[in-house]
Structure 1
Amino acid sequence: MIDVKTLLEQYGYVVLFSSLFLELLALPVPGEVLLSYTGLLVFQGHLNWLVSMLIAGLGASAGITVSYLIGYRLGKPFFEKYGRRFHMGPDKLEKTSQWFQRYGNKMLIVGYFIPGVRHITGYFAGITRISFRTFALNAYLGAFLFTGIFITLGKVLGPKWEEFHHTITKYLILAGINAAFAVLLVYLYRKYRQQIFSITRQVISWALHTFHSLGRVRFFVVGVAVVFLALFALMVGMIQDLLANEFLEFDQVTAFVVHAIFENVESTWVTLGAHLASYNVLVPLLAITLLWIWKKGQDRRLEVFFMLLVLFGGELLDEGLRRLFHRSGPDGLVYTFPSEQTLLVLSVYGFAAYLFVRHRGRGMMRSVLGVLVLALSFYSGISIIALNLQFPSDVAAGYIFGGVWLTLNILLLEIFRNLRRA
């Protein structure tokens, strides 16, 4: 790797293009390190940021295009006969082909972030005869996204590159694996939707027969319950990590990146994000939601009760949790785990959006409100970190605890609603 970095310093864009081109042909080039080191050279003024991202994206796009054409031209028989010579024997070919067919073409995007996967996706896209238009749309988008993120991170890290780039690369790889897992879940749901519904109906029938209490149970309630259990498991794991003092590396790296990105951002925008959970914002939101409930709600008293519970109960819950864990935040700030701001923004904004969508939501409105809640939650958390009010792990914990509180209240609301109508 020392030789590659030396070549990159001497020949710049030519080496950058060639390295990404060769890596996407499945040659052993450490792309993540090369790209982040390119970002370091950008920070030092040796290379241009935008030009580097353009050249790297073009190199990756050219490489994966050639691998696609090779796979498309030579096809499966060639790899079954000669694949062992370059570690693509029949067994690996068959398993990978099944994997690629199952996960879908969206893996062309997230596969870039998984070492070993991006090197072969082009070949199997060609072998499985994915149309070039579909291939190009996903593969080129993933190429520029992958190269742009790593070069930008190298630029942001600057003199801290040697210290932090391995850790950040690890987190991005984990993010890629999680994204691939999400793609798999979506694929399985779409393909086996009828079987899932059939099994779910059987489970619900058994539950109704056993407990005689839930009345008419909706599929949505089952989905919320699954999300609640998943978030609860994450919450337990996060508490264990806190007690084991395992957040130090995560906090250092995340805080450094956020501060480096936002050091030149207008402070007004950062401060505004940190105040999204203040009562100056929450009270008007509460008033609007209550008016909406009164006008459109079906079980007004029940919905008003849970809306108030989410806000004021969430406040009490967070206060109790912070006193329970009594973790000191940055600059000696008292009791910051979990973050009050992110917990309230996610749970209160999310519950208000749920009530709006439940009574009048159309397909587009559901998507817009869902994205808006997530964007505001992210904006609030980033602002808090940028202002050095809380540790990144405090903010992350606020998301997890807030998600648990939100899904629990939605679940209870729907259960009580069904009980009243039974």
Structure 2
Amino acid sequence: MDQFGYLVLGAALMLELLALPLPGEVLMTYTGLLVFQQKLNWALSILTAGTGASIGMTVSYGIGYKLGIPFFEKYGSRIHLGPDRLAATSRWFERYGNKVIIIAYFIPGIRHFTGYFSGITRLRVRTYRLYAYTGAFIWTGTFISLGKIVGPEWEQFHHSITKYLLLAGILAALLLMAFYLFRKYKIKLNDRIVYWLSKAVKKFSSLGPARFLITASFGLFLALFMLMVGLVQDFLANEFGDFDLVTSYVIHSQFDGNWKPWMNRFADLASSPVLLALTVLSLLWVLYKGRDRMLEGSFLLFVYIGGELWEERLRLYFHRMGPENIANTFPSEQTLITIVIFGFAAYLLIRHTGVAWVRTVSIIVVLACSFLVGLSHVYFNLQYPSDALAGYVFGGVWLSMNVLLLELFRIMNS
């Protein structure tokens, strides 16, 4: 790399995408280190790496396209991928494979065969090129940029960065698969959940739009609850060290002192005046639009007060010392309560409006504000990144549980 940087980079990534066992992520993050040392150019490195990866994906697609179908028609049944299954897989890949291609780059063992399988299943060439080439430059740009960010700490951090990006890629793939299964079986899923809950709530079978809210909140609650259990296990096993070290370093290396005024504004999003004002506005919205005003108003107060008690008891239970010897920072009080208050306000807005863009903007605002609050507290060394992450998860559990309970109470009172 030191002698033939661009040539080695492009050739190695091309060969890796042909399924050769080459350490692509390590090579790209090391390239980022060379960029930091001004031995290589950042833009040219990404262009070279992305081009090499794109060539590898093109060649693997061509091999799969030319040789794949006869092989699977003859031998596919031996590995449970006969003509019928291959045809079904081809239809699925035609519909959803383009999204898988981008995510697959971040998952070793998957990206090496994505091109071959895209050719085997006859994914349209134009569609394949669009997503394969886009994913190639996203993948290479991400790792080279991260290598440039960590700079002199490359040897210490690149293994951790690779691990967390791998986990993020796997999580994204699982979410995509869950979305696909939900889209495919949503009618059956809704009916099944209706059947289960109707045993306890007889009127549930007559529901209309509320079915989706109950299904979504129940699924979100289960997912976040399992994630919460995992976080508690990691906390007890002291597994957050690498995550906190890497994330804190990246944040402080990218946001210097000039960001302080902005970070103060971001932190103010979790201040008591802002949260109280949002609660009052939500209550006024309930009085104006709500059909079950007493029920929704009571839940609004319960969510706010209960959220405060929930985070206080959690922090006292875990009793973690944060940066600068600040006591009881796990989970983050600010990110937890921001998710709860902003999230419930968005739920009430979404529940009583039929405008699609308002719903979308509401969700984006909640996620953005919550992220900025967590970012600001890590920036000021008030909390560890794992504190902020735990706040999101614990707050999400409390929020989704209350949305589910509110919808069930709404049914029983109807």
Per the normalisation by structure 2, the TM-score is 0.91
| 2:79 equivalent in structure 1 | 91
The structure 2 residue matched to 1:243, chosen from 197, 214, 236, is 236
Query: What aligned pairs does 1:2-401 form with structure 2 within 5 A after superposition?
Result: 8-78=1-71, 91=79, 102=92, 104-105=96-97, 106-208=99-201, 216=207, 218-263=211-256, 266-401=259-394
TM-fit CA distance, 1:365 = 2.2
C-alpha contact 1:339 1:394 (8 A) present in aligned 2: yes
Q: 1:340 and 1:100 mapped to 2: Cα distance? A: 48
For the 8 Å contact 1:214–1:415, the answer to whether it is kept is no
After superposition, what is the alpha-carbon deviation per residue over 1:226-257, rounded to whole angstroms, capped at 9, x for unaligned? Answer: 22122122222322322222222221122112
Residue 180 of structure 1 deviates from its aligned partner by 0.9
SS at structure 2 position matched to 1:113 = coil
Question: Which shows bigger deviation, 32-41 or 89-98?
Answer: 89-98
Query: What is the distance in 2 between the residues matched to 1:203 and 1:392?
Result: 39
Matched residue SS, 1:218: helix
**TM-aligned CA deviation for residue 99 of structure 1:** 6.8
- 8 Å CA contact 2:18–2:56 kept in 1: the answer is yes
Identity of aligned residues (%): 53
**Aligned 8 A contact 1:67 1:122 in 2:** yes
State the distance in 2 between where 1:236 and 1:89 align. 41
- C-alpha offsets along residues 79-114 of structure 1, whole Å, 9 cap, x if unaligned? 777x9xxxx996397699677765631110110011
1:360 is paired with a residue whose SS is: coil
In 1: Cα distance, 2:201 partner to 2:347 partner: 26
Query: In the aligned structure 2, how far is the partner of 1:144 from the partner of 1:260?
Result: 23
- Counterparts of 2:90 and 2:143 in 1: how far apart (Å)? 25
Aligned residues: 407
Q: 1:195, 1:415 → 2: CA distance?
A: 20
Q: Given residue 24 of structure 1, which amino acid in structure 2 is its aligned partner?
A: L
Q: What amino acid is aligned across from residue 116 of structure 2 in structure 1?
A: Y
Gaps of 5+ in 2: none
Measured in 1, the distance between the counterparts of 2:345 and 2:58 equals 46
Distance 2:279 2:309 in 1: 17
Separation of aligned partners in 2, 1:214 and 1:80: 47
Report if the CA contact (8 A) 1:215-1:418 is conserved: no
Q: Structure 1 CA distance, aligned partners of 2:41 and 2:78? A: 44
Q: CA deviation at 1:223?
A: 2.7
**Greater alpha carbon shift after TM alignment, 251-260 vs 352-361:** 251-260
Q: CA deviation at 1:264?
A: 6.0
Question: SS of the residue aligned with 2:2?
Answer: helix
What's the CA shift for 1:338?
Answer: 0.8
1:298-348: CA deviations, max 9, x gaps? 122222222222223212221222122221110101111110111011111
- Counterpart secondary structure, 2:352: helix
Alpha-carbon spacing, 1:78–1:237, altered in 2? closer, same or farther (3 Å): closer
Of the three residues 408, 412, 418, the one matched with 2:405 is 412
Q: Deviations over 1:261-310 (max 9, x none)?
A: 22365222222222211023222222322222221111222222222222
Q: CA deviation at 1:218?
A: 2.7
Q: Give the match's secondary structure for 2:19.
A: coil
Decide whether aligned partners of structure 1 residues 397 and 47 sit closer, same or farther in structure 2, where only a CA change above 3 A counts: same
TM-score of the superposed pair, with normalisation by structure 1: 0.89
On the 8 A contact 2:15/2:56 being kept in 1, the answer is yes
Which deviates more, 294-303 or 144-153? 294-303
Are the counterparts in 2 of residues 259 and 386 from structure 1 also a CA contact under 8 Å? yes
Provide the C-alpha distance between the structure 1 equivalents of 2:411 and 2:191, rounded to a whole number of angstroms: 21
Task: Please state whether the residue corresponding to 2:390 is helix, strand or coil.
Answer: helix
Deviation digits for residues 207-236 of structure 1 (CA, Å, limit 9, x no counterpart): 446xx8998573421331222122122222
Shift of 1:368: 2.1
